[in-house]
Amino acid sequence: MGATAIVTRFAPSPTGFLHLGHAHAALTAWRAAREAGGRFLLRIEDLDPTRCRPDFTDAILEDLAWLGLDWDGAVRVQSRHLPAYRGALDRLAARGLLYPCFCTRADIAREIAASAAAPHGPDGPLYPGTCRRLPPAQRAARIAAGEAHALRLDMAAAIATLDAPLTFREHGTRRACDPARFGDAVLARKDIPASYHLCVTHDDALQGVTLVTRGTDLLPATDLHRLLQALMGWAEPDYAHHTLLTDATGRRLAKRDRADTLRALRDAGISPAEARRRAET
């Protein structure tokens, strides 16, 4: 295997049992690696302790093995690597690209309701920038008092560091990125000193992922991930966004739909080969 061999990954969050949609995503990444003689990694994105459960992690490993998928190397479990994410945040903070945000959801909702415009981004209404404008002394006093805060990316400052407009590469074509549509994105939550956007990008770089395959629901996120890669000097992977599986009524499969979980199929006597066929059609 050469240094440029393809590395893909499946990175589920253990918030429920895997369903056929996950199997589709996992198989897409696994096939891309196996057909090219590359590596397929498994990463558990379990940062949110209110939604993730260790028994779902165990179930993910079991269900993937049942499906006939094998992965290379150790499974990376994100909740065990918080200091690494802290290190990335420190580097951004040292460049003045992060600021603490003390706002509650209610504060933000009130501020948005009072303003004339309420632009929306892929993750919801854009943050109105309240804490970006806090005087430094007030900011320092609130941190010293131990007030809970998130860390937000100063989007305008981050974009100002770029020397060329951002793009991402998909199937050999360059497509324009618009990270500004996220506004001042949260990179470290109040309750967890990290965030999905930061950790997924950090880990793809750390693990040498060369091809990120994921659903089109995450297409907008790629714009922000490319910005983080540029800011941190992380290598740029290729991207391949696949369509999402839907049920007979055209609705996207979700973890709440018990009937489509791999577990339910297995319990109903469906073979792994048949489950793979359903996941890939």
Joined tokens for residue 26: 């996992």
Q: In what order do the strands lie in the sheet with 173-176?
A: 173-176, 167-170, 238-242, 211-215
CB of 12 to ligand GLU, least distance (A): 5
Joined tokens for residue 224: 């922000």
CB of 149 to ligand GLU, least distance (A): 24
Through-space distance between the first and last CA atoms of the chain, rounded to whole angstroms:
31
Nearer to ligand GLU, 15 or 167 (CB): 15
Stretch binding ligand GLU (CB under 6 A), from 10-18, 60-68, 145-153, 186-194: 10-18
CB of 183 to ligand GLU, least distance (A): 20
CB of 143 to ligand GLU, least distance (A): 30
With beta carbons less than 8 A apart as the criterion, state whether 190 and 150 touch: yes
100 binds ligand GLU (CB under 6 A): no
261 binds ligand GLU (CB under 6 A): no
13 binds ligand GLU (CB under 6 A): yes
Binding string, 41-60, against ligand GLU, x = CB under 6 A? ----x---------------
Nearer to ligand GLU, 45 or 260 (CB): 45
218 binds ligand GLU (CB under 6 A): yes
Q: Kindly give, in sequence order, each residue whose CB lies less than 8 Å from that of residue 137, ignoring residues fewer than 6 positions away.
A: none
Nearer to ligand GLU, 31 or 110 (CB): 31
Q: Applying CB under 6 A, what is the total number of residues that bind ligand GLU?
A: 7
Nearer to ligand GLU, 12 or 100 (CB): 12
Write out the binding residues for ligand GLU, residues 184-203 only, by CB under 6 A: 200
112 binds ligand GLU (CB under 6 A): no
Which residue of 7, 11, 60, 131 would you call a contact of ligand GLU, by CB under 6 A?
Answer: 11
Stretch binding ligand GLU (CB under 6 A), from 5-13, 148-156, 236-244, 256-264: 5-13
State the residues that interact with ligand GLU by CB under 6 A.
Answer: 11-13, 45, 200, 214, 218
